[in-house]
Amino acid sequence: MPPTPRDAPPTPRYASPPRRDAPPPTSDEDLAPLVDRDLFIAVTSHELRTPVTVIKGFADTLVEHWDALEPAGRRSAVEVIGQRAGELARLVDRLLAATTEPPGSPVQAPFDLVSALREAAGGQTDQLRERLRMALPPSLPKAYGHRSSLASVVTELVTNANKYSTGMVELRAAADEREVLFQVTDRGIGIAPEHVDRAFVRYWQADPGDRREHPGAGLGLYLVRRILERQNGRVCLRPRKNGGTVAEVRLPRADVVVGAGQQAAEEG
């Protein structure tokens, strides 16, 4: 194995000088864009620094110690670079998704939730698949929404559960009279009741220590809620009775949506 690169020095903080012709902010509403910008800069610099540091460290190791490394060591270093580059690409995609508003609304249609969940679970990394236990029924009433976006929702919820838990993560699905739903359940540290709503705020972390112990950009749950709200879905968190957290996603049943549309057309 190649030597592990040393930790990078702390990233310096830069402050842009205020415009001389700009009036000073006078209210919370005026300050909100500045706070949001500062949070974006802080989170982006923090989360980008880790993969970039690792990539540079292993690249430097290959350049400086190429002849001294065994073929297996070279391959290992290249694999780490590839993995971290993939993380970097995914992080950039998430940052862009969190700070831009896609045009229009996603195309919605009836789809098989169980099939979509199995497909999304199969697309997870090897590490996540090993810890994911699925308890899905053979079939459910069809959901109504944007099927292709479900993979992103499942990935964010499973990744979040994996980050705060060391045990198995369960994926279940069911339906009631108006909605189909699925749950991602972990047996980790859990979530405080007062945090179940705030967890969906962009860049939010429970406390400053979370970023050190559980690294993350604070974007996953924000993106999940945003994706679901665009298709009349919803997501909630709640503490699990015996420890851990349950993330529950609900989407309209297709037969309910279609039936309501037909009734409206007849009445119109």
Which has more pLDDT, 140 or 26? 140
The rounded distance, in Å, linking the Cα atoms of 206 and 191 is 9
The pTM is what? 0.64
Residue 152 pLDDT = 84
CA dihedral 45, 41, 205, 93 (to 10 degrees): -70
Q: Report which residue type is found at 141.
A: P
**Residues 19-78: tens digit of each pLDDT:** 545 454 444 444 445 445 555 565 566 567 777 888 888 999 999 999 999 999 999 999
Length of the chain: 268
Report d(CA 209, CA 40) in Å as an integer.
18
Q: Which amino acid is residue 36, in one-letter code?
A: D
Residue 25 three-state SS: coil
- Pairing between β-strand 169-175 and β-strand 143-145 as defined by DSSP bridges: unpaired
What amino acid is encoded at 97 in this protein?
A: A
Instruction: Summarize pLDDT for 108-136 with one digit per residue, the tens.
Output: 899 999 999 999 998 887 888 889 999 99
What's the pLDDT score for residue 211? 44
**Integer Cα distance of 94 and 101 in angstroms:** 12
Give the pLDDT confidence of 188-210 residue by residue, as tens digits: 888 888 888 778 887 666 655 44
Residue pair 173/157 in contact (Cβ under 8 Å)? The answer is no
Tokens standing for residue 142: 């069809």
- Under the banding of pLDDT at 50, 70 and 90, the label for residue 184 is very high
Delineate the domains of the chain, giving CATH numbers in brackets. Answer: 28-99 (1.10.287.130), 109-258 (3.30.565.10)
**pLDDT given at position 243:** 86
pLDDT reading at 216 higher than 70: no
Binned at pLDDT 50, 70 and 90, residue 96 comes out as: low
pLDDT given at position 102: 60
Q: Which contiguous run of DSSP H or E holds residue 33?
A: helix 28-65
φ, ψ at 151 (rounded to 5°): -60, -40
The pair of three-digit structure tokens given for residue 266, joined into one six-digit string:
């007849």
Characterize 10-41 residue by residue with b for buried, 16 or more Cβ atoms within 10 angstroms of its Cβ, and e for exposed.
Answer: eeeeeeeeeeeeeeeeeeeeeeeeeeeeeebe
